[in-house]
Amino acid sequence: MEHLTTLKALHISATVLLLGSALGLAIWTWLARRKGDATAHTRLLQRPLVFVWLLMGICLVSMPFTGWWLVHLIGWPLGQTWLLASSVIYTFGAFSWFWLLARVNRWRSAPTVGGATFTLVLAVFSGVCFIAIAGLMGAKPI
């Protein structure tokens, strides 16, 4: 039973860290833009903020493994609708997060390339995906 509690704590903390880091980056960028700094988005991958991106990446990679292990330990069948929906939503959310990271990195090297609107759409879509997964994890509609 200890393994289950530890694994739940690890999975929940990865989810909270992922969403909290994303929210922190969004607030930092929004405050910088509000103060009149038009180049705030180009500094999103500078040295101090790389830690936040790495933390989000580690959480993003660990979540499928800890989630599968939790499902395996509890004994839920993998064919449940909410588990399948979470897997599909996670796939789209993770791909959009990696695409967002690539776009932000491209912005860092060439600030005039690409539009901010599509990057914002990617960020919002990825955030909504992970919030939806957190809601499905919390509700567990069996």
d(C-alpha 53, C-alpha 68), whole Å? 24
User: Which value, to the nearest 10 degrees, does the dihedral of the CA atoms of residues 26, 121, 52, 8 take?
Assistant: 100
Q: Which domain holds residue 62?
A: 2-139
The pTM of the full predicted model, rounded to 2 decimals, is 0.81
Q: Which of 118, 95, 93 shows the shortest CA–CA distance to 107?
A: 118
Above pLDDT 90, what percent of the chain? 11
Quick: pLDDT tens for 108-139. 777 666 677 888 888 899 989 989 988 888 88
Question: Residue 135 has which token pair?
Answer: 């809601």
- Looking at the 3D structure of the chain, how many domains does it have? 1
Above pLDDT 70, what percent of the chain? 90
User: Which value, to the nearest 10 degrees, does the dihedral of the CA atoms of residues 27, 63, 126, 38 take?
Assistant: 30
The type of residue at 128 is V
The larger pLDDT score, comparing residue 38 to residue 112, is at: 38
